[in-house]
Amino acid sequence: MPIRAPERTRRGRTRAAALALAAVLSAAVPGCGGPGPADRGAARTLGAGAGTGTGAAATRQADGRHTEAALRAAVRRLAAEGSAPGAAALARDGDGTRFASAGLADLRTGRRILRNDRFRAGSITKTLIATVVLQLADERRLGLDDTVEEHLPGLVRGRGNDGRKITLRQLLTHTSGLFDFAVDQRVARRLSRPPTAAPLTPRQLVRTAVAHRPRFAPGAAWHYSNTNYVLLGLVVQRVTGRPYAAETERRVLGPLGLRGTSFPGARGTLPTPHGRGYAPITGTGTGTGTGTPRDVTVLDPSAAGAAGEAISTLDDLARFFGALPRGGLLPPAALRRMRDTTASDGRYGMGLFPVRLSCGVTLWGHNGQINGSYAQVVATPDGRRVLAYRLNTEARPAAAAERALLKAEFCRT
């Protein structure tokens, strides 16, 4: 019989929920990363036979077996050293696609994580939204130096907040100074439990944020705030006449064939196939401990909105982050803006952040944390190598294990 974690008080649960949501929709800046081609090469699942060959072919096969073994070992470590029941990773490069998983997707049935499992991508949603906004800017349907007030009159006002002084550029780069609605405990409670009431609207989330004073004057500093991207979602709708989800599907998901990616809206369940999402077991500073993880698969996604509601697969995320640097979605000038971290002192661009490895490689990507899920995707600057990985709890993996995974994939000799 498993040992159960002691029940927390209502106040403790509320505070934990607030912290979880803040982490969920936060970015580990800087993060980690990798790249890869869209759909070329035969997909290989770790453990599949590599065959035999001679000369250069044999060398490539031997290298492939070594790479697969290194990825498999790194994923096992990712699961073993964290608080997640399971972990998985998918790598793409010129030689094909490799997938590895460790642990369990469902503690009740013993099911393992599958390559095509759907999961909550959290703040990786922001990269999708930033791509759409930059496309609209390239089409001159909006300007990055437009103010929030020009597109959403009267919405950002009060308690020292003023949409007349905040630009879309500042929303994209998290330099607006707006309070993060995810830190508000009322919103956190909504995300930490299954939907029981009417969905929260984006305007409600913004009103929650502007009920608090801003952290600083627009452009004066950098601070990650989910409010920025909820506002960008509203701007997309105002400019195009379509909800941000529909516009992202039309501009990004459809053209790239990302059939495993969706925006759930008010739907609290995951599409099939999927495993389960679990709250991390508390007990130590790293989130590890003893007890039975609590199933948090069903939740209210309206509390994340354009800042973190997307559902996806490892394949889809790798394809998107591989296509983005190769110009399939944005022209070179827009991509340079996405990677310009001047406003954040090197920490964040526009929906992307740099991940610098000790071997001298710099990757570009984003991570996402939302109740029951942690994911990160990184790519080389040319998009030819990509790594997407996930755990089925929102707790970040052990830093050493995450570094080992990235180095195994991108610091190869």
Helices (H), 223-281: 226-240, 244-248, 254-256
What the block records as the tokens of 294 is: 């609590």
Neighbours of 298 (CB within 10 A): 17
End-to-end CA distance of the chain: 47
Rounded to an integer, what distance in angstroms lies between the CA atom of residue 280 and that of residue 257?
33
Pairing relationship of beta strands 96-103 and 294-295 according to DSSP bridges: unpaired
Rounded to an integer, what distance in angstroms lies between the CA atom of residue 73 and that of residue 127?
29
At residue 211, φ and ψ (nearest 5 deg) are -75, -10
Nearest to 234 by CA among 207, 198, 262, 202: 202
Note if 176 is an active site residue.
no
Pairing relationship of beta strands 96-103 and 43-45 according to DSSP bridges: parallel
Q: Which residue type occupies 65?
A: R
Per the residue annotation, which of 83, 101, 123, 176 is the catalytic one? 123
SS3 199: coil
- As annotated, the active-site residues are 123
